[in-house]
Chains A and B, each alone.
Chain A
Amino acid sequence: MSTELLQQAAANNHWGAIAPELLVGCLALLLLVLEIVLPKARHEIIPSVAIVGLLGIIGGFVMNYHSGFIDQTTFNGLLRHTGTGQFMRLFFLLAATGVSVLGVVALKRQVMPKVEFFTITLVVTGAMMLLSQSNHFVMLFVALETITVGFYVLVSYTRTNPLSLEAGLKYLIMGALSSGILLFGIALLYGVAGSQALTASTTDPMNFDALRIFLYANPDNVIAAIGIVLVLSGVAFKIGAVPFQIWIPDVYQGAPTPVTAFLAIASKAAGFAILLTLVTVFDGYQSLVVTVLSVMAMATIIFGNLAALTQHNVKRLIGLSGVSHAGYLMIGVIAAIHVPFAVGAICFYLFAYMLASLAVFGVMTHLAGDDDADQDLDHYTDLAKTHPFLGTVLGVGLGSLAGIPPLAGFMGKLLVFLAAFEAGLYPLLGVAVLGVIISIYYYFGWIKAAFFPQWRPPVMEGDDPIPEPTHQPVSTAAGIVLATAALASIILGFYQGPIGQWLGLG
């Protein structure tokens, strides 16, 4: 390509379309600059700069929510701006803010570099925002790798803790494997769609629009089918769907709690954002996609719930319960093929899941001892009595995750179930209902540990007295995040108003 052509292409780029991502990137760089410029004693303001910066970006983004770029492609077809994409961008920004606040709380206890956490979080957030709008496999892969590489570092952040290192290694190996699978799938699709021997072959086979047309014209191509399955498998790793869930318990346990929260909330949502896009791209192979996703969804719900039943470590418990949530969401994705409002339902579900997870992870962050990986159900004994605020927030968060009315999580589940019923997915619905019932057992077990009076062995003479669990005092910022997450979970259960309208439900 000549320089002129490149310049011409660059001139057509609408940089304004990705202003939020650019600002997030600049903020990340600013943090690095501040670290060099500021004297070491002043470094503690850097996290505040990150959080305030994020809030500023969120404010600007909300004001320009209905920007002029919706339903347009920019950057020569690399990005497509959609209503869902807009919502997901806001979602990632909010998640990053919450995780950053939790990060401040968690890092206080560790002798660790305190700035890089926020820089990497911001970079990953920017990549997620781009990912949810990608319209091209190159964009998708670059964004996805940025996220994954960022998480390699974040997961093993507490490098003095062997469990954290183990988690990092596992995530690295499994992440590399899944990237390989995804890339192989992309290569196969690229190969067939670009092959001139086939009808509707295209010169830009990585572009989703072109690929979609090609797949429609060639509905029985075996290589394309293999490519689709491989791409779906690569994505399934991100959302933790069976059989690619194997990394979840160990990584969730080993990673620092805020990172676990980030993985559970944002990484999963990013996976669903691309899955929703890909399902429309693979429209020509609908029956294949539906079969693969249905089998995965069923296995995911059953495995996630059954595996979570026996967990005592809360990080593993919430990780495995998150697996089952991925299963419910996959039902929504399958329904979205036929039922338009299912997309809104998935977004609402994700939003409710984010609020509930922030509440639960927030409480976990405050309760974690020096060993972040060792968080047991027993540590929650009498939480409601000793710390009513954290107890209430935990109760609301868990209730919302379990899908108990009147909390937002119930509305999310109901909307997904409604969509599934309209799409006629009765067997999946049956499995989902079974899953919800099983999940009550372990969520309730957790609530039981925190709320119900427990029997304690009497302290005998000569025994060491049982050490009282030490709770971190709740800082103002963390208190605001926790209270907001809990209150929003309650209010969204009663009144979906503006969010329902954004998602086209009201």
Chain B
Amino acid sequence: MDLLLVAIFSPLVLALAMVLGLPKALARSLAYVGFALPAVISIVLWCQYGAAAKESTYAFLTSYDTGLAKLGINLTLGLNGISMPLFVMAGIVGLAAGLFALQSKAERLNTYVVLLLIMQGGLMGVFASVDVFFFYFFHELALIPTFIMVGIWGGRDRNYAAMKMTIYLTIGAMLSLIGLIAIYYKSGAQTFDMIALREAVLTEGLSTVAQQYIFGLLMFGFGILVSLWPLHTWAPLGYGAAPSSVAMLHAGVLKKFGLYGLIQIALPLLPQGASHWVLILASLGVVGNVLIIGIVAIAQRDLKQLIGYSSVMHMGYAFLGVACISVMGSGGVVFMMVAHGFSAALLFLLATSIHHRTETFDLDEMGGLVKHAPVLAAFFVAATLASIGLPGFANFWGELTIFVAAWTQFKWLTVIAIGGVVISAIYGLRATAKVFFGPQTEAFDKVLAEKPATDLTWSERLPALILLVSLLALGFWPKMMSEPINDSITEIYTAAEAIVPQDVARN
């Protein structure tokens, strides 16, 4: 049995069954399976990956004909060193988000779970697809429930936020779709299969001009989806309004789609086009995302918006890493994507837990929560430190690798980026201090009088623990992820270096 297919379609089939009228109690308990199965499968496949990857570039490769084979569209599934870590991360974060959603008291919980299951199926599909078309397809499948969930279960400004997210992300998705179609034709391969595309590019190569146009399309298309400054404005607003599980899955996993696309598709297929754009990409990422958004984050008073801005800011490091076009740079980005997936999800989860106790996201109305919820405080401090990039947490290795890789190419930008660590320390620690320490505010006193604050319950603690353990495990033993990442990227990028553009070859 093809485990990848099971991981993608078990949540989707379950969601369909729930729509068609599965009894509510049964559906609720089956939903645990729907979230757990992809996570378990992803870890099982991770354990088998080392042996399976020795034979070919892609492990667990299978292909299904869906009826468009003549156009070169097949449901081809497989994992390589770039997609495997993200696939595992998607599974684990999905499980945490699912557990957190199932214990929540959301209105119309069944519909909420259905949409979340669809999202989870799409996320697993994004990283398991070797076919570029399905890579895009599954991304959109996961994206649509996001809009609906923000609109229905969102917090303040949900209608505006949902609309803004929809329009921005649709523009980004359409731009990248056109870029992908352009690769499909201009490479001469007339297929969306990633392996065949790479081979076609190796033998024929795209002309430099075509590469430049296509990379530009992909850079801005994917860039909007990853919240590249100045096209990021949907992100803090959207995350601020999104219900916690949605913010966890979107900021943690789905947003990585764009970076993954740049590393897996754009850089290896369009190396010359990329070198034309990298300085712009690195500058926007470092000056825009890291510096400007970092300063904006310092000024935030709303905890959830702050986490949203911090998530946008960290994408700047990723853009810097992508701009290196090197094995080390891209490897660092992949590692950072995994780490950021865990830490961003953890922060959004804890923010909601805080909100349950303080009834507000306003930092000025909070204070002294540590006395009532010490475990929550411990988790939040750990998550903040991870997000800043302290050694011992996975984020540290990702950021460090990116800085080392970028130093040789962009000295000044690297200096600014390293300065960004200080900025994130300022706003992260300030938020922690305001929420948990310091004197209790009057507003909080009033809330406490009505509803005494409890510590983190086990149904909240379990998903948080899953994420924190993942962060620490990767922080202390990065080798278990970094080796496959390194092998695959080295192989793909060395091949890409040998590409001679069509027009150069002719002269």
A392, A496, A497, A499: residue with the most chain B Cβ atoms closer than 10 Å: A496
Query: Do the beta carbons of B159 and A448 come within 8 Å of each other?
Result: yes
Query: Do the beta carbons of B70 and A504 come within 8 Å of each other?
Result: yes
B184 within 8 A of A: yes
Shortest CB–CB separation between residue A403 and chain B, in angstroms?
10
Shortest CB–CB separation between residue B480 and chain A, in angstroms?
34
Shortest CB–CB separation between residue A436 and chain B, in angstroms?
6
Query: Chain B contact residues (Cβ within 8 angstroms of A): what range?
Result: 35 or more
A405 within 8 A of B: yes
CA distance A437 to B65 in the complex (A): 30
Contacts of B422 in A (CB 8 A): none
Query: Do the beta carbons of A444 and B166 come within 8 Å of each other?
Result: yes
Contacts of B184 in A (CB 8 A): 418, 421
Q: Tell me which of B145-153, B279-287, B368-376 binds A.
A: B145-153
B23 within 8 A of A: no
CA distance A406 to B8 in the complex (A): 14
* A452 in contact with B19 given A440-B167, A505-B67 (CB within 8 Å): no
Q: Name the contact of A501 in the complex, choosing from B67, B175, B178, B185 (C-beta under 8 A).
A: B67
Query: Do the beta carbons of B163 and A506 come within 8 Å of each other?
Result: no
* A506 in contact with B151 given A404-B140, A406-B140, A440-B170 (CB within 8 Å): no
A157 within 8 A of B: no
A422 within 8 A of B: yes
Query: Do the beta carbons of B140 and A429 come within 8 Å of each other?
Result: no
Query: Do the beta carbons of A421 and B141 come within 8 Å of each other?
Result: no
* A452 in contact with B159 given A433-B178, A440-B167 (CB within 8 Å): yes
Nearest neighbor of B137 in chain A, beta-carbon distance: A405
B158 within 8 A of A: yes
CA distance A437 to B177 in the complex (A): 13
Query: Do the beta carbons of A433 and B162 come within 8 Å of each other?
Result: no
CB-defined interface of B151-182 with A at 8 Å, one 1/0 digit per residue? 11000001100110011001100110110011
A395, A418, A499, A501: residue with the most chain B Cβ atoms closer than 10 Å: A418
Query: Do the beta carbons of A421 and B151 come within 8 Å of each other?
Result: no
Query: Do the beta carbons of B166 and A440 come within 8 Å of each other?
Result: yes
Contacts of B177 in A (CB 8 A): 414, 417
A341 within 8 A of B: yes
CA distance A447 to B162 in the complex (A): 12
Contacts of A415 in B (CB 8 A): 71
Q: Name the contact of A452 in the complex, choosing from B69, B71, B152 (C-beta under 8 A).
A: B152
B66 within 8 A of A: yes
CA distance A506 to B72 in the complex (A): 9
Contacts of A501 in B (CB 8 A): 67
A399 within 8 A of B: yes
Shortest CB–CB separation between residue A404 and chain B, in angstroms?
6
CB-defined interface of A352-395 with B at 8 Å, one 1/0 digit per residue? 00000000000000000000000000000000010000001001
Q: Name the contact of B67 in the complex, choosing from A399, A441, A452, A500 (C-beta under 8 A).
A: A500
State which residues 411-462 of A face B: CB under 8 Å: 414-415, 417-418, 421-422, 429, 433, 436-437, 440-441, 444, 447-448, 451-453
CA distance A505 to B73 in the complex (A): 10
Shortest CB–CB separation between residue B6 and chain A, in angstroms?
16
CA distance A392 to B19 in the complex (A): 9
Contacts of A495 in B (CB 8 A): 66-67
Nearest neighbor of B121 in chain A, beta-carbon distance: A406
CA distance A506 to B133 in the complex (A): 15
Query: Do the beta carbons of A499 and B67 come within 8 Å of each other?
Result: yes
Query: Do the beta carbons of B144 and A341 come within 8 Å of each other?
Result: no
Query: Do the beta carbons of B67 and A451 come within 8 Å of each other?
Result: no
CA distance A168 to B151 in the complex (A): 40
Q: Name the contact of A429 in the complex, choosing from B19, B136, B137, B178 (C-beta under 8 A).
A: B178
Shortest CB–CB separation between residue B27 and chain A, in angstroms?
14
Query: Do the beta carbons of B67 and A418 come within 8 Å of each other?
Result: no
A410 within 8 A of B: yes
A494 within 8 A of B: yes
Contacts of A56 in B (CB 8 A): none
Query: Do the beta carbons of B67 and A498 come within 8 Å of each other?
Result: yes
Contacts of B1 in A (CB 8 A): none
Q: How many residues of A contact B (CB 8 A)?
A: 38
* A506 in contact with B171 given A433-B178, A451-B151 (CB within 8 Å): no
CA distance A399 to B118 in the complex (A): 15
Query: Do the beta carbons of B181 and A421 come within 8 Å of each other?
Result: yes
Query: Do the beta carbons of A341 and B71 come within 8 Å of each other?
Result: yes
B71, B147, B163, B167: residue with the most chain A Cβ atoms closer than 10 Å: B71
CA distance A127 to B67 in the complex (A): 32
Query: Do the beta carbons of A505 and B141 come within 8 Å of each other?
Result: no
Query: Do the beta carbons of B152 and A451 come within 8 Å of each other?
Result: yes
Contacts of B299 in A (CB 8 A): none
Shortest CB–CB separation between residue A116 and chain B, in angstroms?
38
Contacts of A418 in B (CB 8 A): 71, 181, 184
Shortest CB–CB separation between residue A418 and chain B, in angstroms?
6
State which residues 463-506 of A face B: CB under 8 Å: 494-501, 504-506
Q: Name the contact of A421 in the complex, choosing from B147, B167, B182 (C-beta under 8 A).
A: B182
B68 within 8 A of A: yes
CB-defined interface of B174-204 with A at 8 Å, one 1/0 digit per residue? 1101100110110000000000000000000
Contacts of A440 in B (CB 8 A): 166-167, 170
CA distance A341 to B190 in the complex (A): 13
Contacts of A498 in B (CB 8 A): 67
Nearest neighbor of A422 in chain B, beta-carbon distance: B185
CA distance A441 to B178 in the complex (A): 20
* A505 in contact with B68 given A433-B174, A444-B163 (CB within 8 Å): yes
Contacts of A421 in B (CB 8 A): 181-182, 184-185
Query: Do the beta carbons of B170 and A452 come within 8 Å of each other?
Result: no
CA distance A403 to B158 in the complex (A): 23
* A410 in contact with B19 given A418-B181, A452-B152, A494-B66 (CB within 8 Å): no
Query: Do the beta carbons of B170 and A437 come within 8 Å of each other?
Result: yes
Query: Do the beta carbons of B69 and A506 come within 8 Å of each other?
Result: yes
Nearest neighbor of A419 in chain B, beta-carbon distance: B71
CA distance A206 to B295 in the complex (A): 74
Shortest CB–CB separation between residue B209 and chain A, in angstroms?
14
Contacts of B175 in A (CB 8 A): 433
Shortest CB–CB separation between residue A362 and chain B, in angstroms?
17
Contacts of B181 in A (CB 8 A): 417-418, 421
* A405 in contact with B141 given A448-B151, A451-B148 (CB within 8 Å): yes
* A500 in contact with B141 given A417-B181, A448-B159, A452-B151 (CB within 8 Å): no
CA distance A501 to B67 in the complex (A): 6
Contacts of A392 in B (CB 8 A): 19
Shortest CB–CB separation between residue B12 and chain A, in angstroms?
9
CA distance A449 to B170 in the complex (A): 20
Query: Do the beta carbons of B67 and A404 come within 8 Å of each other?
Result: no
Nearest neighbor of B118 in chain A, beta-carbon distance: A406
* A448 in contact with B167 given A406-B137, A498-B67 (CB within 8 Å): no
Shortest CB–CB separation between residue A478 and chain B, in angstroms?
18
Contacts of B66 in A (CB 8 A): 494-497, 500, 506
CA distance A447 to B140 in the complex (A): 17
CA distance A506 to B67 in the complex (A): 5
B67, B108, B175: residue with the most chain A Cβ atoms closer than 10 Å: B67
State which residues 54-74 of B face A: CB under 8 Å: 65-71
A-B contact pairs, 10 of them (CB 8 A): A392-B19, A395-B148, A406-B140, A418-B184, A437-B170, A448-B151, A448-B159, A448-B162, A452-B151, A495-B67
**Could you tell me which A residues sit within 8 Å of B by CB distance?**
341, 385, 392, 395, 399, 404-406, 410, 414-415, 417-418, 421-422, 429, 433, 436-437, 440-441, 444, 447-448, 451-453, 494-501, 504-506
Known: A410-B140, A500-B66. 9 other contacts (CB 8 A): A341-B70, A433-B175, A433-B178, A448-B151, A448-B159, A452-B162, A497-B67, A505-B68, A505-B70
6 tightest Cβ-Cβ pairs between the two chains A and B: A500-B67, A496-B67, A405-B140, A506-B67, A497-B67, A452-B151
